[in-house]
Amino acid sequence: MSKINVSVDCVIFGFDTDLSLKVLLITKKENPKNLLKSRNKTQTALPGDLIKANEELNPAAKRILKRLTSIDEIYLKQFAVFSNPKRVKQPKDQIWLKSFRKNPEERVITVGYISLVDIQDFKPKASYFADEVIWTSIDEIPELTFDHNQIIDEALNFLKKELDYKMSSILLPKNFTMPQLQKLHEEVLNKKIDKRNFRKQILKEGIVFKTSHVNKTGRKGKPAVFYQFCNNNEY
């Protein structure tokens, strides 16, 4: 019976200053020492890798993310398990796996982790087998290695169901405008929201309060009022 490996893949979402929801991806190169050459020597993927035999999942996820992106001390939460026996069997994936693993044919079950960060607070740097670390808008995600496109789709579905003021407070800066908050929800839910109803509902719920600060670079020269969440505690 062939060995079954366990890996973790991390879906890190961030909300950028251009008001777009983005996901952190890595590019990875084929091992140059391997004699097997690929027409496409670089692949794009989620940060992820196999766990060690003596590791638990949560510490492994933090170790792998730090090793690949230099990001540390962020909240990671399991959201799904991906166990399709053919998930690493595509020819393009096998070419890359043969560059790094002794037994590329072995089955790999992966545990998906999701995290939310304020992009301005994190400066990821590629290391280990990652060649580059890039923030990519969710509507511009290319074809990824393995089943990572599916993993991102599942992570987005999870975020749509779970999005609340705590999650929003992690993605947004401490001081934010109402249009920023509305755009965040539109990006996650992938639909337009009526401005008047959204503002009315948010204020009715009492989860934000108006500050005395304004954004003087608002549209059409009109200052935009900054808001803060009433309870800005992290998870």
Indicate the burial class of 136 (C-beta count within 10 angstroms; 0-12, 13-18, 19 or more).
Answer: middle
- 210, 181 contact by CB (below 8 A): no
pLDDT bucket at 36, cuts 50 / 70 / 90: very low
Q: Assign residue 73 a region (left: φ > 0; alpha: ψ between -120 and 50; beta: otherwise).
A: left
What separation in angstroms does the CA of 38 have from each of 31, 43, 92, 114? 10, 11, 8, 31
- 176, 226 contact by CB (below 8 A): yes
> Token pair for residue 183?
């755009």
What separation in angstroms does the CA of 21 have from each of 15, 67, 117? 5, 24, 11
Q: What percent of the chain is helix, strand and coil (3-state, nearest 5)?
A: 35, 30, 40
List, for residues 46-60, the tens digit of each pLDDT value: 999 999 999 999 999
In the chain, the domains with their CATH numbers are 4-162 (3.90.79.10), 165-229 (1.10.10.10)
Say whether pTM exceeds 0.75. Answer: yes
State the average pLDDT over residues 89-110.
Answer: 81
DSSP letter for 110, please: E
Compute the radius of gyration of the chain from its Cα atoms: 20
pLDDT at 220: 59
State the average pLDDT over residues 88-113.
Answer: 83
30 pLDDT higher than 50: yes
